[in-house]
């Protein structure tokens, strides 16, 4: 078992990473008599709910669960309210613990519920997708969507523990494993060149779900993210770098409607757009951009815009990004592989030109 | 103008108290170019929206507003969403400022919106009821109701400034002024015996809206609450004392349905129940309980249970209180006037007996 600590002063918490941890009662910070509400969805519940419930009941906890409909389109205030209703029906108080068992959507909604229920209850994350394991389970960003924008409503709220059982990836659709690898590659590209090289060496093992390589990879990603978050919990500075490809990617997701492209797929294409723009600005070399593209392709990820989306469709969505300040676009771009920066006020014509270069032509 | 500072380390903020402050641009921490969303309701808007809008526009802010339906029954996730929709329609970003112009409901919903929109934007409180001025505008508690419980969903979130214009009390219904005095009397009863005596001397002037006495009174209440909040921001200890009468009071409000008794009226009757219980437990003297009752009566406040509510109706509601821990009731009771404490595991028969003594009999 590997362990990464997220250092946030009084809210320091550990991330445990290993095979079979769901059944390991030593990693749960719970004791007999604790009241637990597991938030999950029917797909994940069918595989893992009884395993987690059994483990917690052996500890002596009272365990209830609430299942949200599966999918990004249900990451809403209505789903949030399902959790509140379940907690109130069980008379759960401020001493309750919410456990998020599932992917990023479950983690985001359950985390925001934990931040909000009676103004804050304990929260444990058990991410079951690669994307959630390397990204959304670290750093305390929680949110639901609004019909006018993604992740517009939420809180910064830290879990007390994150439990990552890499065996859960065996039941994850391959397409979702690959989508998770988009965020993995992102970490190498923005902050860690040696890790980028490691990925070039081991990407095939990761795609094939080699357990040892997966654990090393997840621990490295969590460590990178944990370091960034510890420096900048509420995203005033450095933390924005983690959003490489996300401003483009959110535009893709919003334009296609949630649930068509996976988040990681949109981030992959978006990262490529950021790389191409970086190259056009004279920062990234053509060879470096090509290495990023090759790595994304080996992980079976898209590197161009969806064929139903025009280059002109991007900017209106991008201007609604949370990083926009005083009406000016702020993008995460690359100086080189392993070195990202925040670009303010990038010329919109250049942005459009980069998107064009990443658009499928017949 | 009086000023009280709430000391919360990096989130220190001032409360300005005076007559005519709505039009005083020096008290608004805003500058030209800032984007402001005023959250208010039609009743308050008719009196004060143009005054605040004009002042902010003179500073050079972009000012929009959103009006929520008036009343505790609209303190819901749906009202919250109206604010998010207004912000997103105007393309307001993370640099927006939300101004709450109204009573406790507006402050609570707007504050929670500010805590949640893009995971947190700036927030200014302009409370226009006495209750909000002395209570809900200080301390950063924000919330909406759930159909199964009051204030069950929310956040601890601090404003950057609170602006209290005592002239706004001239348009407030007398019944609401009196309800605010219930919380004023509470401060004296729990923590400040000299202030309790001051109130015995000046309660008639306060009922008659004497501006100077009102400002002194509000400043004293804000100072008491600010001190408590600074010691205990997230209500792990001392801050619970502020809830004298609230566990009983919430039971009344929930039982009658929101909007029948005013919050302050329920707190008044609830405070009397707590005092009677304290007397039965041998702490408060009969004379002290009688002084509290007399002060409440002089402020035209109820000191007994609503006549449509039976003593047995209280406990099921009270057991759902946020202060309940491990299934045990925690009540705020009085050792003496000016000295409250948290009572854990009070005998439920005694609680019921105290409620009986405060129940109207024919």
Nearest CA in chain A to B152: A118
- The answer, yes or no, to whether residue B331 has pLDDT greater than 70, is yes
CB A335 within 8 A of CB A283: yes
Interface of B with A (CB under 8 A): 33, 77, 80-81, 84-85, 88-89, 91, 93-95, 115-120, 141, 143, 146, 148-149, 152-156, 234-235, 319-320, 322-326
Q: Is residue B362 part of a domain?
A: no
| Contact flag B234-A325 (C-beta cutoff 8 Å) | no
Report the relative pairing of strands A161-165 and A13-18 from DSSP bridges. Answer: parallel
| Contact flag A320-B91 (C-beta cutoff 8 Å) | yes
Question: In total, how many domains does chain A have?
Answer: 2
| Contact flag B325-A93 (C-beta cutoff 8 Å) | yes
> Is B191 found in the same domain as B167?
no
Residue A213, annotated as binding a ligand: no
Over the stretch B41-91, which tens digit does the pLDDT of each residue have? 999 999 999 999 999 999 999 999 999 999 888 999 999 999 999 999 999
Q: Three-state DSSP class for B128?
A: coil
* Residue of B95, B141, B146 lying closest to A84 (CB–CB): B146
pLDDT number for residue A235: 64
Structure-model confidence comparison of residues A149 and B119, the more confident one = B119
Annotated active-site positions of B, please?
119, 141, 183, 225, 235, 239, 243, 246, 250, 263
Q: Which helix (H) or strand (E) holds B142?
A: strand B141-146
> Cα(B130)–Cα(B100) distance, rounded to whole angstroms?
15
Q: Is residue B24 part of a domain?
A: yes
pLDDT number for residue A96: 97
Q: Which helix (H) or strand (E) holds B194?
A: helix B193-207
CB A160 within 8 A of CB A124: yes
**Single residue among A171, A204, A225 that ends a domain in this structure:** A171
- The answer, yes or no, to whether residue B360 has pLDDT greater than 80, is no
> Cα(B126)–Cα(B101) distance, rounded to whole angstroms?
5
- The answer, yes or no, to whether residue B164 has pLDDT greater than 60, is yes
Annotated active-site positions of A, please?
119, 141, 183, 225, 235, 239, 243, 246, 250, 263
Q: Is residue A61 part of a domain?
A: yes
How is residue B43 written in tokens? 């009743």
CB–CB contacts below 8 A, A to B = 91
Overall average pLDDT of the B264-272 stretch? 97
* Residue of B118, B149, B320 lying closest to A152 (CB–CB): B118
- The answer, yes or no, to whether residue B11 has pLDDT greater than 90, is no
**Single residue among B129, B144, B171 that ends a domain in this structure:** B171
- The answer, yes or no, to whether residue B236 has pLDDT greater than 70, is no
Tracing tokens 């990443």 back to the chain, one arrives at: A358
ipTM: 0.84
Residue A168, annotated as binding a ligand: yes
Find, among B60, B146, B58, B54, the residue nearest to B101 by Cα: B54
> Is B116 found in the same domain as B101?
yes
| Contact flag B156-A119 (C-beta cutoff 8 Å) | yes
> Is A253 found in the same domain as A113?
no
CB B131 within 8 A of CB B176: yes
> Is B187 found in the same domain as B45?
no
**Single residue among B171, B199, B229 that ends a domain in this structure:** B171
Nearest CA in chain B to A151: B118
> Is B159 found in the same domain as B224?
no
> Is B144 found in the same domain as B55?
yes
| Contact flag A95-B326 (C-beta cutoff 8 Å) | yes
* Residue of B95, B117, B154 lying closest to A152 (CB–CB): B117
Q: Is residue B48 part of a domain?
A: yes
> Cα(B55)–Cα(B44) distance, rounded to whole angstroms?
16
> Is A126 found in the same domain as A19?
yes
Nearest CA in chain A to B329: A93
Find, among B156, B67, B65, the residue nearest to B112 by Cα: B156
Q: Most A CBs within 10 Å: which of B114, B116, B324, as the mutation test of the A interface?
A: B116
Q: Is residue A362 part of a domain?
A: no
Overall average pLDDT of the B122-146 stretch? 92
Helix, strand and coil in chain B, % to nearest 5? 50, 20, 30
pLDDT number for residue A338: 97
Using an 8 Å CB-CB cutoff, list chain A residues near B326: 33, 95
* Residue of B81, B235, B325 lying closest to A77 (CB–CB): B81
Using an 8 Å CB-CB cutoff, list chain B residues near A33: 326
How is residue B269 written in tokens? 């009757």
How close B153 gets to chain A, by Cα (Å)? 5
Which stretches of chain A drop beneath a pLDDT of 50?
Answer: 362
Give chain B's mean pLDDT: 93
Interface of A with B (CB under 8 A): 33, 77, 80-81, 84-85, 88-89, 91, 93-95, 115-120, 141, 143, 146, 148-149, 152-156, 234, 319-320, 322, 324-326
User: CA-CA-CA-CA torsion for B249, B255, B261, B266, nearest 10 degrees?
Assistant: -10
> Cα(B102)–Cα(A222) distance, rounded to whole angstroms?
44
Cα–Cα distances in angstroms (integers) from residue A157 to residues A5, A6, A96, A234, in the given order? 16, 13, 16, 10
CATH code at position B109: 3.40.50.1970
A192 CB-contact burial (10 Å; exposed 0-12 / middle 13-18 / buried 19+) = buried
Cα–Cα distances in angstroms (integers) from residue B214 to residues B139, B204, B298, in the given order? 20, 11, 16
Q: Which helix (H) or strand (E) holds A143?
A: strand A141-146
pLDDT number for residue A9: 66
| Contact flag B148-A89 (C-beta cutoff 8 Å) | yes
Using an 8 Å CB-CB cutoff, list chain A residues near B237: none
Binding site as annotated, residues of B for Zn(2+):
183, 246, 263
Structural domain harbouring A100: 2-171
Binding site as annotated, residues of B for NAD(+):
70-75, 104-108, 128-129, 141, 150, 168-171
CB B264 within 8 A of CB B252: no
CATH code at position B273: 1.20.1090.10
> Is A234 found in the same domain as A154?
no
> Is A342 found in the same domain as A204?
yes
* Residue of B84, B154, B156 lying closest to A152 (CB–CB): B84
> Is A190 found in the same domain as A162?
no
| Contact flag A116-B148 (C-beta cutoff 8 Å) | no
pLDDT number for residue A71: 85
> Cα(A57)–Cα(A134) distance, rounded to whole angstroms?
28
> Is B193 found in the same domain as B73?
no
> Is B40 found in the same domain as B185?
no
Overall average pLDDT of the B201-211 stretch? 97
First CA to last CA across chain A, in angstroms?
49
How close A125 gets to chain B, by Cα (Å)? 19
> Cα(B206)–Cα(A244) distance, rounded to whole angstroms?
58
> Cα(A4)–Cα(A232) distance, rounded to whole angstroms?
17
> Cα(A59)–Cα(B150) distance, rounded to whole angstroms?
32
Q: Is residue B102 part of a domain?
A: yes
* Residue of B94, B117, B156 lying closest to A153 (CB–CB): B117
pLDDT number for residue A231: 84
Beta bridge partners, A154, equal: A143
Which residues have C-beta within 8 Å of that of residue B220, sequence separation ≥ 6? Answer: B187, B192, B195, B198
């Amino acid at each position: 078992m590997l362990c990464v600590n997220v250092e946030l002063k009084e809210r320091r918490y550990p991330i445990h990473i290993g095979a079979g941890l769901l059944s390991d009662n030593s990693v749960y910070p719970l004791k007999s008599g604790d009241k637990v509400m597991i938030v999950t969805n029917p797909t994940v519940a069918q595989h893992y709910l009884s395993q987690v419930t059994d483990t917690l009941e052996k500890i002596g906890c009272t365990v209830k669960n609430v299942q949200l409909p599966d999918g990004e389109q249900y990451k809403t205030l209505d789903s949030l309210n399902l959790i509140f209703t379940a907690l109130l029906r069980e008379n759960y108080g401020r001493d309750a613990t919410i456990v998020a068992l599932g992917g990023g959507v479950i983690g985001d909604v359950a985390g925001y519920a934990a931040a909000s229920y009676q103004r804050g209850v304990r929260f444990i994350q058990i991410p079951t997708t690669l994307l959630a394991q390397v990204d959304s389970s670290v750093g305390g960003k929680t949110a639901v969507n609004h019909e006018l924008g993604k992740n517009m409503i939420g809180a910064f709220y830290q879990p007390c523990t994150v439990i990552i059982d890499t065996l859960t990836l065996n039941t994850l659709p391959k397409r979702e494993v690959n989508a998770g690898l988009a965020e993995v590659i992102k970490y190498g590209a923005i902050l860690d060149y040696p890790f980028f090289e490691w990925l070039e060496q081991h990407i095939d093992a990761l795609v094939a779900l080699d357990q040892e390589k997966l654990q090393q990879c997840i621990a490295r990603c969590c460590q990178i993210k944990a370091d960034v978050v510890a420096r900048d919990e509420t995203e005033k500075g450095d933390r924005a770098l983690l959003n490489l490809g996300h401003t483009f990617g959110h535009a893709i997701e919003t334009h296609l409607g949630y649930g068509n492209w996976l988040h990681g797929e949109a981030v992959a294409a978006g990262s490529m757009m950021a790389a191409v723009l970086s190259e056009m600005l004279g920062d990234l070399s053509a060879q470096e951009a090509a290495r990023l593209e090759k790595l994304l392709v080996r992980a079976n990820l898209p590197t161009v815009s969806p064929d139903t989306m025009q280059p002109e469709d991007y900017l209106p969505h991008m201007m609604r990004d949370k990083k926009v300040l005083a009406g000016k676009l702020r993008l995460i771009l690359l100086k080189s592989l392993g070195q990202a920066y925040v670009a303010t006020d990038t010329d919109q014509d250049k942005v459009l030109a980069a998107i064009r270069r990443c658009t499928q032509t017949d």
